[in-house]
Structure 1
């Protein structure tokens, strides 16, 4: 990602040399590169250096590192021996949705809380949730910044419907109504974006929720709650720099304000509610 903005290396000569080294080495040189951006996005941003030729990164094979399957997370946590209880392991899976980085962050935070001698399980999870949120916020913000505005809109619509479904199911807060069907129609318009988000593990299909989608990692829903709060009190939109389609921002603003009771306290309220067991299964309807 950084090379695309490097004042010296972001040039045709460098990328051409990189491709030559990799393609002519007959397997002697293997590049394993991690990026938050898709291969298509990287090719698009270097197209200026090869307007009539093939993309500079056409020798790459893209492998999307999505969420770890449940059994992989179980096996990973088993390496901690008897440090984590069965409830701890369930908690880790729910708040992370199986995201590899988030699993590492929350497992490390929970391990440290045990090291500090905290004996109360509720307090352990409260501290761990807050540590996870603090660590994940920067990563999620970076990923969000790199997403196209349509992807942000898709996730926003899914999050609003998910929040509303949680409120109706748990009777957690004062009941509010907004046009769920309109948001569902919005979701239906974003099928390509949702398929991409599903592949990355940020959303999952769930027929128990209107629109058929939910936010998969709990921590992403917490972070989105805070962003929605900021959006609702701002004249601009956090979805993107480009203006939303006519009426769409007004519709989203009304939706956000309609569930204002549910999100006005931001992520802290959701974290507290989850600790107290009021929103069991926040990352998956049961």
Structure 2
């Protein structure tokens, strides 16, 4: 049986790593605080949230704790009363709050009557910990994306120790505050009471733990190769390891076997990479593109591309570089003029594929592509012209498409095996 899995959240013994994130979340809850877990798509936010749920449900807290998990994808069409009715399900029949709950139900769970309920729960020495997954979805739900909902969450969680929130979202704390600023009458951001914990790729120790738990005879070179392709991104790493395991036998030619495994992996994860790219801000996309343009020639032997002029003409992306470093897609590297280089090799391949589609026609419409990426409004005319010129000069470098990247990385791996 293939020990690697991807696609669904992992629980129980299959959950590995994230020890520091667990400690920070549980410490914050012990202190009565609320937490926002952020990270890129498929970085393991749901798995971490469910792991926290299992830990809390095990009854290890010092005071009685009731846990409620809600997936925002299931809140379609809901209004505020429906939300609180579902959120309070674990405590609605407790003797200490029963009367307060019935009153809140009659008055459609307004914030004022909910205060009485959480006051009763606090007086009884009990807590409700509300876990909300995929919170970004709420921003597009008309019945919840309003003052009553956000203001109620903030007021109740900050005034009563009987309610703590653990929210998982793709967007950062700053972005959530910006997205809901129009509903804030006082001007104070709704979510600034929460402690933000951003989860990125697995550390080297966590990667080693994953492979050790799988108990497969991968060599050190194979493990390092898979880590490089994925950058330690949990989903990408599991997918790469899965197909590497699938093709580990049955084909005598090492290079052909590697190409099959890598091609299958990229086909599987391309949708996730596209989703990640789509959720980045235009400036984040531009920051990664510059780093990738500078790094790609090094991924394909005997190719050159001078990115210096382009870097001179485009604005500084230092804030976006820091954000992408924190989220595990770039790392600092003084060898490059832009100061960073991509970490997730397959993300670089994804961008190259996008550029190949753009540049394939004899007269590519780069202007429309810039508009589709929503870059057009962020660049000056001179900056747009510099980028268009650079992309056209980049075209010969990509003439062999994805196969060139796959063959190059496989050849490098084969040479390393032979050298060792």
Please, what TM-score do these two structures have when normalized by structure 2? 0.59
Matches within 5 A, 1:108-187: 108-114=242-248, 117-118=250-251, 120-167=253-300, 170-171=301-302, 173=303, 176-178=304-306, 180-185=307-312
Please, what TM-score do these two structures have when normalized by structure 1? 0.83
User: Which among 226, 229, 236 is matched to residue 102 of structure 1?
Assistant: 236
- Range with bigger deviation, 44-53 or 181-190: 181-190
What residue is the counterpart of 1:208 in the other structure?
335
Structure with bigger gyration radius:
2
After superposition, the Cα gap between the structure-2 partners of 1:60 and 1:104, relative to the gap in structure 1 and judged at 3 Å, is: farther
Query: Which whole-Å CA distance do the structure 2 matches of 1:183 and 1:239 have between them?
Result: 18
What residue is the counterpart of 1:271 in the other structure?
406
Q: Does 1:34 align with 2:161?
A: no
Q: Which has the higher strand share?
A: 2
User: Which among 18, 22, 36 is matched to residue 157 of structure 2?
Assistant: 22
Unmatched segments (≥5 aa) in structure 2: 1-135
Alignment coverage as a number of residue pairs: 273
User: Which among 244, 247, 263 is matched to residue 382 of structure 2?
Assistant: 247
Matches within 5 A, 1:48-67: 48-67=182-201
What residue is the counterpart of 1:230 in the other structure?
357
- Indicate the SS of the match to 1:84: coil
What residue is the counterpart of 2:88 in the other structure?
none
**8 Å contact 2:305–2:394 — kept in the other structure?**
yes
Unmatched segments (≥5 aa) in structure 1: 282-286
- Residue 278 of structure 1 and its aligned partner are, at CA, apart by 8.3
Runs of 4+, deviation exceeding 6 Å: 278-281
Query: Which whole-Å CA distance do the structure 1 matches of 2:393 and 2:210 have between them?
Result: 41
- Indicate the SS of the match to 1:67: coil
- Residue 215 of structure 1 and its aligned partner are, at CA, apart by 0.9
What residue is the counterpart of 2:211 in the other structure?
77
- Residue 239 of structure 1 and its aligned partner are, at CA, apart by 3.7
- Residue 220 of structure 1 and its aligned partner are, at CA, apart by 0.7
